[in-house]
Structure 1
Amino acid sequence: MTKADVARFIEALALANPDPESELTYVDAFTLLVAVVLSAQATDVSVNKATAGLFREAPDPASMVALGEEGVARHIRTIGLWRAKARNVVALSARLLAEHDGQVPGDRTALEALPGVGRKTASVVLNVFFGESAMAVDTHIFRLGNRTGLAPGKTPRAVEDGLVARIPPERLRPSHHWLILHGRYVCKARAPECWRCVGREWCRYPDKRDAPAT
């Protein structure tokens, strides 16, 4: 896409969904951070089911450390990689207590130094909670960047850099949500529903699909 077409595509998503929000359930920076860590290779729906009980029992770093790995694991066994995630959640909670007075830092370097937190997780927290125009590239956004021509790239970082450079700055922060939701519900991996795409006019995908016959 040209930069002008990128702007038109994003504007179409904005008109269709003026107030996009994360579908993860959280109440503060800590619960958001934990939810995002747990969401790797898992759906938001499955994470929300798991964290409902977890956050009732451990809503802050101190209670999460007290709960321990086995206690956390008891709540999250239904999601993928639960053993490693339980270990990371307890370890990052301990690190927050030891190094940040129990508070989630609003700094990328400090976030990425926490156990289980990579660039994508840090970007989500910075975007959703701290209001930064960070672009977290998950599988949905990586697919969209390449399939539509928004920002082709061989790596998530390449797609991220392309989106940051091409999306109008005033639209960058909500674009994180628009693109994730569009990829989740419309531009799906195996069967994109192109007939429902509000940005179809500008999309460069060569194999656009029409609505199935009824």
Structure 2
Amino acid sequence: MTINPVLKIIRAKKFGVLIRDARVNSGKSLVDCATAIGLSADELGAIEYGERPPTLPELEILAYYLEVPLDHFRGNEILKTDGNKKSFDPAEIKQLRQNEIGALIHKVRIEADLSIEELAEKAGIAPSSLQSYEQGEVPIPIPELEILTLVLNNSMQDFEDQASIVGSWFVEQRNMREFLNLPKELQSFVSKPVNRPYLELAIKLSELKVERLRSLAEGLLEITL
């Protein structure tokens, strides 16, 4: 079997495009990436321009440094820049979150059957300040929010962002940490696409009421006995 040498040139060019795209997408400089994989900027530049292909160890370290799956460099697609991040407006998100936190404090206070004055006294906060917090007019300092959650028998996690761009990122990071804390055999099981039906079944079972689960278990016992 004879390999056309042109294919190697094309492959090197393709690697270069994917590597440059991954680097630019990550916001890392050419110098930073070159240093990370033990190359000079000129050497990495040559790789990005397809003048020489990377070695596997270089590609592995670069993928690790850029936090990009190694399989990405075996494909044909460039990384998609998150359009939401381009329109990221911290002032807008902070105001939205300020309103949400204030509304949640108001809701929990009403459920606890406390007036603004009563909660303010318990938390050691001026009633006027608490009212401003609830109305989203003034941002709440974390120490005061911690005191309010303590007085209202809530936790800080109840007030954390879950829905915005920032909150979604927090949720993803938390889910990833929980996944990495699983035993290796469970990580392997969850990662295999062939096991997806079992995972979907487990989700459905987890949503059933105890009585229904007991009925199903009894039915299975009757079948197996």
The TM-score normalised by the length of structure 2 is 0.26
Structure with higher RCO (Cα < 8 A, 6+ apart): 1
The TM-score normalised by the length of structure 1 is 0.27
The structure with the largest alpha-carbon Rg is: 2
